[in-house]
Every structure is written in C-alpha cells, then in structure tokens.
Structure 1
Amino acid sequence: MSDRRGKGSVLIVDDEESIRFAFHKHLTDLGYSVRAASSFDEALDLLNENRFEVIIIDIILRGASGMDLFRRIKEEGRKAAIIIITGAPNIDTATEAVRLGAYDYLLKPVKLEKLRAIVKKAIEEIRIKEERERYKSLIEGIFMNIDEGIIVVDENLRINELNAAGSRICGFRKEHIGRYISDIYPECQGRCLSALKTSMIEKKDIELYRVECRRSNPKKTVTIRFSPLVMEDDTFKGGMMVIHDETRLNDLEISSQQRGRLQNIIGSSKKMQEVYNLIEMLSDVDTTVLITGESGTGKELVAEAIHYSGSRRNRPLVKINCSALPETLIESELFGHIKGAFTGATTDRVGRLESANGGTLFLDEIGELSPRIQVKLLRFLQEKEFERLGETTPVRVDVRLLAATNRDLLKSVRAGMFREDLYFRLKVMEIHLPPLRERKDDIPALVDYFIGKMCKKFKREFLGVSDEVMRLFLEYDWPGNVRELENLLERLCLVAGEGYITTDCLPAELKEGKVSGGFLPDAGISRGSIIRAIEKSAGNKAMAARMLGISRRTLYRKMKELKIPLNAVSERWKKD
C-alpha cells in the first residue's frame, strides 16, 4: 500500500462528475494528493491501494449509498476524517453520520473556500492524533520492556496499569487491573502499601532501599521508589511504584560481605558490615536492643532498620526523644493518662507505649530519663504492663523496646544517675555505631548519597565535590559525625548553586586544615536560621537543635551570642 503523505491525501467519492472535477482541481491546486471515485466499488479499490487522511463522500452513489461506504470504512478500522456531503439532507442520515463519527456534514452546493478550510483543519487534527498515538505506542513499548517494574494506581489505590517486569517481580497479573491493590494479596507484608499511601498523602517521593519481598517465591530483594502522580495543572491522579530487582546484586554483596548500604544506612567499611550483621541477626528476635554511639552517627536509622527488617514491620514504629520533653510531660507521653489525672487533663489520652502495641517503641536519648520514669519503664520491661496516669488498672501491651543513647550509661550507673537493673534490662544486646572519624572510607559514599538527596530536595543538578574538597573531608575529624556531614553538604549546595562544590564554598576553618575540633558544627548558622528552626519546631529547643544539626547546649550558646531572647521566639509563635 502506498502513502502519499505530502501536504495531505484526499479521496473524493461522488457520482456527479462536475463535483468530482471541481473538488479534485481545487484541492490539487492547493498541493494535496487527490484521487476520485464515482462509485462504491471504485472507492473500495482505491482504498485498498492507498491510504487517505480525508475522505469526502456523497450520500447518494451508484451501486450503494455513501453511508454504506462510511460503515465499511469504520468496520475496516481505517483512520481517516470522513466528510459527508449531500443534496438531500434528512435527520436519519445526519444522526447516523454523527454516530459513526463523521468529521463534518455539508450541504450541497459546497463552497470551495469552506471545503478548503475543513480539509486543512481535518488533516492537521488527524496528523496530531496520529503523532500522539505513535508517541503513546512508543511509551507503551518502553513501559512494557524496561527492566524496572512499574505499577500505577489511582487515588483510591486501584491498579491502573502495570508492566511485564511489575508482573514478574510482584506477581500481579493483567486481570488485577481495576482491583484494589490491598485486596489482591492480603497476606503480603504491606510495607509497600504503607509507603505508597504515605507518598500519595504527603505528595512526596519515598524510597525503600533493598527490602525483602517475602511474598515472592523465591524471595526477592528490591528497591522501590514511590511517587505521587501530579499532573501539570496540579491535579492529583494517584501514585506509582518503580521496582528494581536487586536480588542478584544483594546476594553477591552478602557473599563477599561487602554491602554498601542497609536500608537508609550508608557505608561499606568493616565496622558497618558488623553493624549490618547485628541488625539482621536481631531483626526477628524480640529482645531489647541498646543502640549506642555519638550524636549524629545514625542511631535512629538503626532502630528503623531493625523494625522494618523484622516480623513487626507491618505494625507501628513509635518514636520518642526523652530529652525533648520535661519530666512532667514525658510520663504522660509514654504511659498516657485519664481525664482528671492532673490539671489540664480534660480527656483520656493514649500513651506512646499503647500506640506501639504490636510494634516497636524507640526511646532516643534514654539516658535523660529521670529516676522516677526509669522505675516505671523497668516495671514495664519486667511485666509487659503499665498504668496510665490517674488509673490503677494495668494495661498489657505487646511492644518491642529499642533504646538509644550517646552517653556512657555505665558511667551514669556508677554515678547513681541511671538504675543498674534498668541498664542491664536494656542492654540485652548492644549495637554500637562507630563515629565517622573511625570509618572515613565511607565518606565518599555518604557524600554521593547526600548530594543525590540535595538534588531532589532543591531540584538542582549538583555534580559532586572536587578532589580537593574530598581530601579536606577525609582529613577532618567530624565531631558531629554523619549528621554534621549532611548539614554541611546541604549548606554547601545552597552556596554552590549547581555543578561541583569547590573549596571556595567551604568554611575557613575546614580549608585551613583545623581538624582537631576547629570546625564547629554550628559554623555558618545564622540568627535567621535559628529563629526559623525554633518557629518550625513550635518553640521546642531540642527539636530545633536537631534540625540545625547541633546540640541543645550549642543552640543556647548561639542564641546568647546572637542576642536571641530565650522566650522571644516562643512568645511570637504563641501569638501567631
């Protein structure tokens, strides 16, 4: 079959020779490729040998009607704009023409100027439609053939589309399209569904790095990227999962004992391999774990890795920072209270322990707990039950406890500041996170990870750090550990704009090689950034300090240096 594309191809079907001649000459003079037929059979012969973008059909023909030809064209699936012309219009033919999808319906006599305009518009529209269909076909081809699994859901979590890799990795099938994703495999661990819901609710990308899909047989290790589907006009259409099967790579790394990452923990050094092994060993063992290490080493990430790698992964992970709340509040936060338990207790409140039932409770900075709270926590660990404030009836829950501290708790025990019996209850197993200065081989990988994170956060293209910057990073002692490195890189990315981060962006202390604590974690923190952090944390100084990557003591020192009144920000926040 030939395709005389050019300006456009037109077939004229009319039994009146004068009309065929007039239309043919006019459109040919305009540059179109034009053929003409006087009957149904002659038109079919031309259609079998040629492809036409526009077909002009008179309703009355010899041998059969123009509507018969129109129906035949539609039955054969030919993609052409059909223009119906008639000298004897009636409601039945007009209605059927519309039903069959006629591009236009013209009454004789047809003015050539009008015909020219309609043909031109019809060819433009059909070519745009064909281009869209070609593009759609190309995208569908890519979609179905890429190695990553893709599953698309609507705003109600019904599956809209999935590709071959998605079917292979997750076990979904084409017949699952239109069904709720949660109904298909109710026995699935559900972590993917939880992350997908969070991504859609919070309108942000989420990544689950190298999680084990236990529903797969054999089990697979996958990295999954969850993204909300938001159109150009900001309308929300659902969510998408992009799944990369990393089973083979993960198996190779495990066999060589040189993993570069476990969930959101980055590092391939020997000390981090030991941490990874302990996490995996303890993930399915319902024992208390004490996570120790300096501030900024990633203790909370270890708690998350233990929880999400174990059998409680589908249940809540509830976190509480013991230094962020005064003693009067932390008891109520942990154990809950009943109405009237104290002044201001106007309703019953469920505590964090009860909220974590079936899951995990993570107590960060546990060394800050007062002796009275330590006693109540010890009782819970011994008896697996507690009492809400103002109530004597014990509440029994099934909660795994993970705790973290940057203190030497044994010293606190010897000093009489921490109960010895609680200490040994907590330290059934210990995971110690090394400071960054003891695993400097991991710095390049951490830099790459955080730079990638900043690219997404700031929507800019940061290429990395220069060799000289990396040399200085490797020489520096990092008293604030991984958190300090992340906060510094965030500030450097803001200063650098795009491209590579060079030594021009670095604080003077680091460039001058003062590596023995000369570069303070609070270097470059401005008065405005402190005020914004305190406002964002609703006046909570401990939370503001963590946002800034510094200790609470350093925050108070900086507030004093920069003449920020201790209560000024809080009062302003309260007024707002």
Structure 2
Amino acid sequence: MGKKILIVDDEQNHRLMLKIHLEDAGYEILEAENGLDGLYLAEENELYAILLDIKMSVMDGLTVLTKLKEKGLNTPVIMITAFNNVRTAVETMKLGAVDFITKPVDIDMLLKSLDNLEKVVTEEIKVNNIPDDFIFEGVYSKEGLGKIVDLLKMVAPTDASVMIYGESGTGKELVAKAIHNNSPRKNSQFLAVNCAALNENLIESELFGHEKGAFTGATSLKKGKFELADGGTIFLDEIGEMPLSTQAKLLRVLQEREFERVGGVKTIKTDTRVIAATNRDLEAMVKSGDFREDLYFRLNVFPVKLPPLRERKTEIPLLVNYFLEKYASRFSKVIKGYTKEFIEKLSSYNFPGNIRELENIIERSIILCTSDKLSADVLPELKIEDNEDIDTLDVKENEKQLIIKALKETNNNKSNAAKILGISRKTLHNKIKEYEIEV
C-alpha cells in the first residue's frame, strides 16, 4: 500500500477527482466530507499528509488546522482554497500549514508539493548531523554570529526559502552564499539580483529572460536568472524594492516552478532555490499594500536576522585581520598587524555603514600605511560615541550625514554618490526623500 493521504472536502466530486489522480500516483486515500470527520480520521490514522479544504459547512479548515496543532498532530497539511480566498490561505500558513493550492487544483502542482514533503523528511534526517566543516567565506565569533551560523548549518541542506534581514552592509549576500555553498546545490549556479537597481521592465527580463523583439532593444533571445540558475540558487537582494507586478510573477515561480520569458509563450520549468534579503520592514509593507502578503509568507519560511556591527564589536579585530590579509597582498604591501590605538579607535566607532564601511576603512588605511603596522593616524575622522549603545536616532543622523557628504563630494551626482555609499541609486533616492535632504 502507498502512503496514506486524507482528503477533507465537502464537495464530493472534488474529492473523487483528487482521489483518482492520487491513487494513480500510488497513494492510499482516506476521505472526509467535513472537518469534524476529518479531525477524527487524522487522530486514528498514521498519515503522510492531509489535503484540507478551507470552506466547509461543518467545522471549517482553519478550525481543523488549529485543533490538529492543539492535539500535537504534526501531519503536514496542504490547504485547498478558491482563488478569491488566498488571503485566508496565507493565514493558514501562520497556523502551520506547509503549503496552499488554489482551485481548480493543478494536479502536477499538487504532486510536486507532496513530493516536496518527502524531501523535507529526508532533509530533517540530514539536519540531525550538522557538519563541522561549514564553509563560510569570512570570519565570525561565537559572541557575534555564532548562533546565526548554527541556524545556517541547519537550513542549508534543505530547500526552504530563506529571508535574510539586516541593515545595509551587514553581509547578507555573504550569508546567502554560505547557505548555497553548504547545500546539495553547491555545484550549480549561485546568481544574485539587486531588485533595487532595475526598473520594472528590466527586472522581469533579468529574472525570466526575454524573446527577441519582446521590447525595444531586445535584439536577441536572453535567458533569465531562473533559467540560468536551474538546479542552483537565486539571491534576491533588496526584495522590498521589487514592483508589485513582478512580485506576482515571482509568486507563480515559487508556487508552480515555471514561467515564460518576457514576450514568450513557451512555459519553462525551473528548479531553483530562492534566498531573499531586505533592510526594510516587510510586515509594515504588507500592511501598507506595498508587498504581497502571500509572497511574504512564501519567502519568509526561514527568517534570519543579521545584527549590525555595533552589536557585534567583538568581531572587529577578526574582521580587521581578514581585510588586512585581503588588501595587503592586493596592494603588494607587507603589513604585520595594527597598533593598540588603531583597534581601540575602531572599536569606539559605531559603524552606521556596518561591515562594508569597515572594509572600506581598512582598504583606505592600507593604502595610506607607510610602516609595517596600521596605526590610528591612517584612520579617517570617525565620530566616536561616548557609549557603545547607539540609538536609532544616532544611526539615522549618521546615515544622513554620510549621504550629504557623498552628494557634496560628487556635486550632487546621485549615481556616483550611490557608488560611494555602496547602495543603489533607487535606495539613495528613497533616503534623500526620507531625510528631506535638499539636492
């Protein structure tokens, strides 16, 4: 007998259709015509999965899902809902559903979702044996990123979507690469896309590709990142800047694992893991309607929050050594280390630009250094705080002043200022507006 699946749906014809297809796929099927009967069968049987309709006259799907969790039953639940009820389906994922599928049900999509449950079981077994040789291209201390790296070790072997939160310059792409490099996909492509750097038309072409003649300037066929990274990983940086229309197309890729090139009609299948990152409050964006709620829950399966450098100052000496080795050899300089005053001055600074700012400072210091040690006199002027716990207002003021300085140095050239600051032009535009900077 195959794995046992329980279908809970008050529409008999719909249950019959699902039963025929799933039995053909080798599953054993149990049926319940309402939530109450479904709950009883879930308690009495060892199930591989439950297909649970949301809208039923006797005990709706939300109630069944809640009661399953209350009873400690951890059988994977896939919710089935009508197109106009997707918001409710998203709520079920908050309650613990592993997926949701809209009616009319795409059988291939359903079978793929069920197949993914098998992968999750296998991956959970792998996770129990967390490898000691975790590849991380950088340095970290147990006091700083240690706990986060432990989380990365657990999620890397899986196919779960990861959302990385953190201020600009905290190393979000480095973390995404670490997840990829320690996953079964490590021998396939890792491709990064900065969602803030591209307008609506360009980002769709970048992600999904385009056909020749799809738009002005499309003189040849172009494969998009999802096509090129098939079997690998796509890193979507600054996901909060993605236009709503593109968000809808990304959601389809995450749900159905397929897409069409811009201007094309051929459906292309893709097996690509998505890791996203943002420095924005996506929950607030969901509430304001600037970010799709269903996409948020698809991406936010495994959230990782990176602390700013000011909260992990124990790592500054480690990072200085790392960047010293990197840039001293690049500039053909023999520098053996740094003075006590050098590291003390750095440790007194709160780094509004985080690790990216520290890296720039070390690179500049190495260029200016004329001895075999980095000393405090090669450091730029740093705004030293009296205490290490800088508050939000201080961070914002520092950021504002850095932007004003960059604009002044570039004669208000926003593209060049954005390069100096290590951010996209769109992000700079938003910051200028937020801080009411006169340009």
Does residue 402 (structure 1) correspond to residue 275 (structure 2)? The answer is: yes
Q: C-alpha deviations, 1:529-552, integer Å up to 9, x for none?
A: 969xx9xxxxx939x735653564
Give the 3-state SS of the residue equivalent to 2:222 in structure 1.
coil
Counterpart-to-counterpart distance in 1, 2:285 and 2:160: 23
Q: 1:316 aligns with which of 189, 198, 206?
A: 189
Q: Which has the larger radius of gyration?
A: 1
Aligned match of 1:541: 415
1:288, CA displacement in angstroms?
Answer: 0.8
Give the whole-Å Cα distance in 1 for the aligned partners of 2:166 and 2:309.
10
Q: Structure 1: any 5+ residue segments left out of the alignment?
A: 1-249, 535-539, 560-565, 567-576
Which structure is higher in RCO with an 8 Å CA cutoff and minimum separation 6?
2
Q: Distance in 1 between matches of 2:359 and 2:403?
A: 14
Change (3 A) 1:524 1:330: closer
Q: Deviations over 1:311-352 (max 9, x none)?
A: 111111111110111112111111111122112222211111
CA-based RMSD of the aligned residues comes to 3.3
Q: Hey, what's the Cα distance between the residues in 1 that align with 2:364 and 2:431?
A: 18
- On the 8 A contact 2:366/2:374 being kept in 1, the answer is yes
1:288 matched to 2:158? The reply is no
Equivalent position amino acid for 2:347 in 1: L
Within 5 Å, give how 1:412-423 maps onto structure 2: 412-423=285-296
Distance, in Å, in 2 between the alignment partners of 1:350 and 1:546 is 28
The match for 1:241 is none
Distance in 2 separating the partners of 1:333 and 1:498: 47
Task: Spell out the pairing of 1:167-566 with structure 2 (5 A cutoff).
Answer: 262-510=135-383, 516-517=394-395, 522=402, 541=415, 545-546=418-419, 548-549=421-422, 552=425
Q: 1:470 to 1:513 in 2, by over 3 A?
A: farther
**Cα deviations across residues 422-475 of structure 1 (Å, max 9, x unaligned)?**
000000111111111111111111111111111111110223332122122222
Structure 1 contact 275–431 (Cα < 8 Å) conserved: yes
The percent of aligned pairs where both chains have the same amino acid is 45
Residues 350, 433 of structure 1: CA spacing in aligned structure 2 closer, same or farther, 3 A cutoff? same
d(CA) in 2 for partners of 1:430, 1:468: 38
SS at the partner of 1:314?
coil
Q: Would the aligned equivalents of 2:140 and 2:318 in 1 still touch at CA under 8 Å?
A: yes
Matches within 5 A, 1:107-122: none
- Counterparts of 2:296 and 2:404, CA distance in 1: 38
Tell me, in whole angstroms, the C-alpha distance in 2 between the residues paired with 1:498 and 1:527: 33
Does the CA-based 8 Å contact 1:541-1:552 persist in structure 2?
yes
List gaps (5 residues or longer) in structure 2. Answer: 1-129, 433-438
Conserved 8 A contact 2:349-2:382: no
CA contact 2:406–2:420 (8 Å) conserved in 1: no
Which one-letter code corresponds to 1:365 in the other structure?
E
Measured after TM superposition, the shift of residue 382 of structure 1 is 0.5
Instruction: Evaluate the alpha carbon distance shift between residue 410 and residue 464 of structure 1 in structure 2; reply closer, same or farther with a 3 A threshold.
Output: same
Residue type of the partner of 1:282?
A: V
TM-score when normalising by structure 2: 0.61
In structure 1, give the amino acid aligned to 2:224: G
Give, in angstroms, the shift of residue 484 of structure 1.
0.7
Structure 1 residues 500, 527: closer, same or farther in 2, change over 3 A? farther
Q: Secondary structure at the match of 1:265?
A: coil
Structure 1 residues 523 and 555, CA gap change in structure 2 (3 angstroms): closer
Question: Are residues 557 and 356 of structure 1, via their aligned partners in 2, closer, same or farther at CA, if it must alter by over 3 Å?
Answer: closer
Distance 1:279 1:457, change over 3 A: same
The one-letter amino acid of 2:187's match is N
SS state at 2:223 partner: coil
Q: 1:459 to 1:382 in 2, by over 3 A?
A: same
Local SS of the residue matching 2:268: strand
Offset, 1:305: 0.7
Q: Distance in 2 between matches of 1:285 and 1:304?
A: 14
Amino acid at match of 1:480: G
Cα separation, partners in 2 of 1:492 and 1:409, compared to 1, 3 Å? same
AA aligned to 2:176 is A
Whether contact under 8 Å (1:319, 1:362) holds in the other structure is yes
| Closer, same or farther: CA 357–485 of 1 in aligned 2, 3 Å | same
Q: Is the 8 A contact 1:493 1:501 kept in 2?
A: yes
Q: SS in structure 1 opposite 2:177?
A: helix
Matches of 2:406 and 2:175, distance apart in 1:
31
Other structure's SS at 1:462 match: coil
**CA deviation string 1:211-259 (max 9, x = no partner):** xxxxxxxxxxxxxxxxxxxxxxxxxxxxxxxxxxxxxxx99xx5xxxx9
Q: What is the CA-CA distance between 1:269 and the residue it aligns to? A: 3.0
1:487 touches 1:548 (CA, 8 Å); kept in 2? no
Alignment size in residue pairs: 296
SS of the aligned residue for 2:193 comes to: strand
TM-score, with normalisation over the residues of structure 1? 0.47
Shift of residue 408, structure 1, vs aligned partner:
1.1
For 1:273 and 1:364, locate their aligned partners in 2 and report how far apart those are by CA, in whole Å. Answer: 23
